Amino acid sequence: MAREPLQAAPRTLPADIAVRADVLALSDVVDVALRNNPQTQVSWAQARAGAATYGAAAAAYVPTVDATVNLVRSQTTSQLGSSLRSTATPTATLSYLLLDFGGRTGTIAAARAAAVALDLTHNATLQNVALQAEGAYFTYQGQRQLVAAARMTVAEADTNLASARQRNRAGVATIADVLQAETLLAQAQLDLEGAEGNLQTARGSLAVAMGLPPNASFQLAPATDSLAVSMIVTQVDSLIDRALALRPDLAALRESIQQAQAEVRVARSAQLPSLTLGANVGKTFSNVTAFQGINYTMTLGVQIPILNLARQYNTTAAEAQVAVASARADLLRTQVAQQVYTSYYALQTATQRTRTANALLASATRSEDAARARYRAGVGTIVDLITAQTALANARAQQAQARWTWGFALAQLSHDVGVLGPRGDSLPSGLDSSGLRR
């Protein structure tokens, strides 16, 4: 029976980050994700393998030298008797390709392009993992703000209930006011419970995004105002141009075109002659003097292909691969432009929604203050107060979400442009089209 494979040990926070496990910042979250995510490990290993393959291909410019030693002990029997002979023959062999009309050069160029493409693919993987981690981070922060807003709503509803009961005992409010206040409090508590459940779900998703178990022990640093919401002043056309120049996945496809073109040179060279140089030198040591001496050979070989139909098809196939790589690059260029265009206007919308949410919260707060004052003065109804507080709760929820939605929209645009850094650094929002801060 086949044995089950060993299970990998669960990943934990790196030692240098574990010391601040209770105050993880965005850069820490991205750092841990990049270290733990198997995607980055796979792409890095592939990049290293590609570099080694390129090194092996480049070795074709250097002659190959091998050494062998043959040890022989033999006994010969004849009418004159028997004789023992021991021989040792060290031999060195040299082989070198002098000329192949582009085959060797094409192989090296293809290996180099493949190595560069794998390295660029690794960079693209880093950006993808960083974006996933940032998305989980912003979602968790947004849910944490929703919980804080829900708790404020519960506290206000509890205050309203106490006020309604006091007014009812004083005979200035009916039992209907108390019941409506109790309903509002129950609804607020229900919303809080749902928000707390969503917060735990978001926390588990954040842990998984960092490559940790869902129940890993960590806490994020308290939210601050360092995430300044502002409008991107760079025009979308400029961002699309930057993306076409900077996106690592697109650059990897351009290298794939170079690789395919080099493979065409290799296929064509197979239909042309090649010239090789060979040499062999050795010396025989023996207890029989007649068998001692130096032996050597030198060869100059020319290989001339005469008939091999497969080589023509190989050339055709290699040329077709160039067309395939070019078409893929064209398709990705279109997709990149669309992604940047979409994320650009998503960020513009998120910026406007953040400003509107701030204004909505300020207006709802003033409205709730006025309704509360009117209710306490006996000139307002509990319905007016509940309506105002419901609007305030909704405004708080939208304001809590808008800021973190903007943060993720900025990260998405930075990813699509190709400038999302390995520690969560993103596209500066205060840049004009020349790249200078205003």
List the domain boundaries for the chain.
26-62+102-195+224-270+309-417, 65-99+273-304
Under CATH, to which class is 65-99+273-304 assigned?
A: mainly beta
Sign of CA dihedral 216, 222, 228, 231: positive
pLDDT on residue 131: 94
User: Under 8 Å CB-to-CB from 201, ≥6 apart: which residues?
Assistant: none
CA atoms within 13 A on the CB side of 178: 12
pLDDT on residue 420: 85
pLDDT on residue 287: 77
pLDDT on residue 437: 30
Q: How far apart are the first and last CA of the chain?
A: 69
| SS3 state at 10 | coil
Other C-beta atoms within 10 Å of 312: how many? 13
Burial state string for 194-228 with b = 16 or more CB within 10 A and e = fewer than 16: ebeebbeebbbbbbbbbbbeeebebebeeeeeeee
User: Using one digit for the tens of pLDDT, what is the confidence trace for 285-310?
Assistant: 877 777 788 888 898 989 888 888 88
For the chain, list residues with pLDDT below 50: 1, 6-7, 9, 430-438
Beta bridge partners of 68: 91
- Two tokens, residue 326: 């070019």
User: Under 8 Å CB-to-CB from 326, ≥6 apart: which residues?
Assistant: 257
- CATH fold of the domain at 26-62+102-195+224-270+309-417: Outer membrane efflux proteins (OEP) (1.20.1600)
CA distance to 275, 354, 410, per residue, from 203 (Å): 66, 24, 21
pLDDT on residue 430: 43
pLDDT on residue 425: 61
